[in-house]
Structure 1
Amino acid sequence: MTPLPAAADWTAEQDRLGFFGPDSVTWRIHADPSFSVGGLRALLLQALHPVAMDGVARFSGAFRDDPWPRLIRTAAYVDTVTFGTRTEAVRAVARVRGIHRRLGAVEETTGRAYRVDDPDLLLWVHCCEVDSLLTTARRAGLVLTDDDADRYVAEQVTTAELVGVDRADVPASVGELAGYFERMRPSLAATSAARDAYRLIVLPPMPTWVRFLTPAQPAWGGLAVLAVALLPQWARRLYSLPGLALTDAAATGALRAFRQAALRLPRTARRSPIVWAGIERVAGPAQLTA
């Protein structure tokens, strides 16, 4: 596993800018309202790897009863690695590495003994996230050229390296990312754990008063349906639920409408405090209205 960088590896200015900075495609994609839908798509895609999903099901028992804290922590982690200083990002990664290195088991359907921090499992999670956030942002209407898309995938190699994947093993272009998924498809399956995760993401538990007295359930349901519809067709077939997804054209239209509505919300509702803190630290007040 690749070692984490240390403060001695960068200057104070590099620390302030973080690992990406305001000129990166990563900032554009991760600050866009489509990020929330892309994150759900990533979770649904990640669940199709039997061994990776076994790790989630086995070691995240509380997630089944109350998924919200884990979802919030995951979003905060990605925001910190993206928009935090390098010191903050490495601190967040070190916490995750510390948890992962203690966990391992045997996945029943494949018989594979694994550790949660096996590089191939970390790579799978990484590639699902990158593909989902990029695909969702482009379909939502964020203007990204083909060069921008390749640049985003290349920038995200740093994220994979931070969690412990050898840089040489990480797809660095859209074409390489597509090739990775093509190679992985024969080993994927919708195990019982994956189907449980699917149901939990689409219909998460909510307190009765939240379910019936607030718009939380229909709002979440709308995002979840979009995330399902944005999955590649081969992934929907694995879940045996292709008919529940919108057509590709309808999904794109609904996603674009969601993004436009979200862009009209107050800024605090569009982006997390971690994102705004990063923008203010690096780009200055002029960017705060973006």
Structure 2
Amino acid sequence: MSTSLFKPVRNRIDAAAAAFIQPADLAPFDFSQPAGEAALIAQDSVSWQVFKNPVSLFIGGVAAVILELAEARVRAGVWDHTSFRTDPVPRLKRTGLAAMITVYGPASKARTMIAGIVRRHSRVTGTADNGRPYKANDTQLLSWVQATAGYGFTEAFHRYVRPLTAKERDRAWSDAYPAAVLYGAIGAPKSEAQWQAQLAAMTPQLSHSPIVFEFLDIMRKADAFPALARPVQILLVRAAIDMVPPDVARIVGLTPQDGLKGWQRALVRRIAQGADRFPLRQSPAAQSCVRLGLPADWLYTRS
């Protein structure tokens, strides 16, 4: 494909990707301003590499929610107090934008956003289906949610984009910890070993629920991707299921047949690796590089 033909296609993909994380009911967030202001997480971090890839983020996000919904109190908080069941795509956009601001946004704006989320969470309380009361700002639950997100995004990048070294995996956890504390997740892991210990401690508390399968059905059918790419969306949901730790998969009722076949795994890797080499100049990652005086494609030259 010639450069003249490729540029309009690239621009269209770039614009579509930028629109996906911008909820229609919120004012546009400008990641390129104010000039020079650092993010909560440094630009040379593993997180800045991981979060630039929209394909592995989708996979990791689905895997993280499966783990979250396996905990009864988190499950009730998500299912009873959000619009996910009735209006999933705007909810996905709001969650995605919050994650991007946490990683890439100027630190002052990220702190303001997180404080607002914490205030809203303070009003979320209830009783789970196992009879246990919950509060959304409970530090144990917040730490589990932060841990599952960290696992999902990092593991998806590791499996489908490029292998991360043990040092890189530890750094991904430690780099994210200060932001996790702002959310109230003071028990979030700071290393891969701490994540494994937290997973082992939480697994006996997890439980089966049909809500997990309802969630997966929503993710297969939601208009997250353009219609022509819907088969890819379904494939990425399978890739997420593949990542669920075996003990947790057994508890929630997922089987290897719900995940990827061998040829599908190779295809997902090709798609994710392709996305990692495709600079999206309107993306939070690129715009945040510009804010710091770096080329928009700086992160892609470091891959």
Alignment match, 1:45: 67
Aligned-pair CA distance for 1:287: 3.5
| 1:86-121 residue CA offsets vs partner (Å, 9 max, x unmatched) | 111111112211210111011122x11111111111
Aligned pair in 2 of structure 1 residues 260, 25: CA closer, same or farther (>3 Å)? closer
Aligned-pair CA distance for 1:127: 0.4
| 1:174-205 residue CA offsets vs partner (Å, 9 max, x unmatched) | 0111111011100101223333223222333x
Alignment match, 1:281: 291
Alignment match, 2:260: 246
| 1:247-266 residue CA offsets vs partner (Å, 9 max, x unmatched) | 5x556423311113324546
Aligned pair in 2 of structure 1 residues 145, 28: CA closer, same or farther (>3 Å)? same
Alignment match, 1:10: none
Q: Which stretch shifts more, 232-241 or 71-80?
A: 232-241
| 1:223-253 residue CA offsets vs partner (Å, 9 max, x unmatched) | 2121112222223222323122125x55642
Q: Which stretch shifts more, 83-92 or 194-203?
A: 194-203
Partner amino acid, structure 2, of 1:254: L
Q: Percent identity?
A: 24
Partner amino acid, structure 2, of 1:257: R
Query: Distance between the aligned counterparts of 1:265 and 1:20, measured in 2?
Result: 23
Aligned pair in 2 of structure 1 residues 187, 170: CA closer, same or farther (>3 Å)? same
Aligned pair in 2 of structure 1 residues 125, 289: CA closer, same or farther (>3 Å)? closer
CA contact (8 A) 2:40 2:106 kept: yes
Alignment match, 2:235: 222
Query: Distance between the aligned counterparts of 1:151 and 1:194, measured in 2?
Result: 30
Aligned-pair CA distance for 1:53: 0.6
Aligned pair in 2 of structure 1 residues 95, 287: CA closer, same or farther (>3 Å)? same
Partner amino acid, structure 1, of 2:295: P
Structure 2, unmatched stretches of 5+, are: 1-33
| 1:133-160 residue CA offsets vs partner (Å, 9 max, x unmatched) | 1111111232522111111111111122
SS in structure 2 at match of 1:114: strand
Of residues 99, 102, 108, the one that matches 1:78 is: 99
Q: Which stretch shifts more, 189-198 or 50-59?
A: 189-198
Residue 117 in 1 paired to residue 137 in 2? yes
SS in structure 1 at match of 2:53: coil
CA contact (8 A) 2:71 2:207 kept: yes
Alignment match, 1:26: 47
Of residues 190, 214, 233, the one that matches 1:172 is: 190
Q: Of Structure 1 and Structure 2, which has the larger fraction of its residues in helix?
A: 1
Query: Normalized against structure 1, the TM-score is what?
Result: 0.83
Query: Distance between the aligned counterparts of 1:188 and 1:252, measured in 2?
Result: 27
Q: Which stretch shifts more, 256-265 or 274-283?
A: 256-265
Residue 17 in 1 paired to residue 53 in 2? no
SS in structure 1 at match of 2:260: coil
Paired residues in the alignment total 265
Query: Distance between the aligned counterparts of 1:232 and 1:250, measured in 2?
Result: 21
Alignment match, 1:90: 111
Partner amino acid, structure 2, of 1:85: P
SS in structure 2 at match of 1:277: helix
Residue 255 in 1 paired to residue 268 in 2? yes
Query: Distance between the aligned counterparts of 1:154 and 1:103, measured in 2?
Result: 28
Alignment match, 1:190: 208
Aligned-pair CA distance for 1:81: 0.7
SS in structure 1 at match of 2:297: helix
| 1:13-40 residue CA offsets vs partner (Å, 9 max, x unmatched) | 9x81111121111111111342221112
Aligned-pair CA distance for 1:216: 4.1
Aligned pair in 2 of structure 1 residues 235, 250: CA closer, same or farther (>3 Å)? farther
The ranges of structure 1 where at least 4 consecutive aligned residues each deviate by more than 4 angstroms after the TM superposition are: 249-252
SS in structure 2 at match of 1:57: helix
The CA RMSD over aligned residues, in Å, is: 2.5
CA contact (8 A) 1:52 1:121 kept: yes
Structure 1, unmatched stretches of 5+, are: 1-12
CA contact (8 A) 1:37 1:136 kept: yes
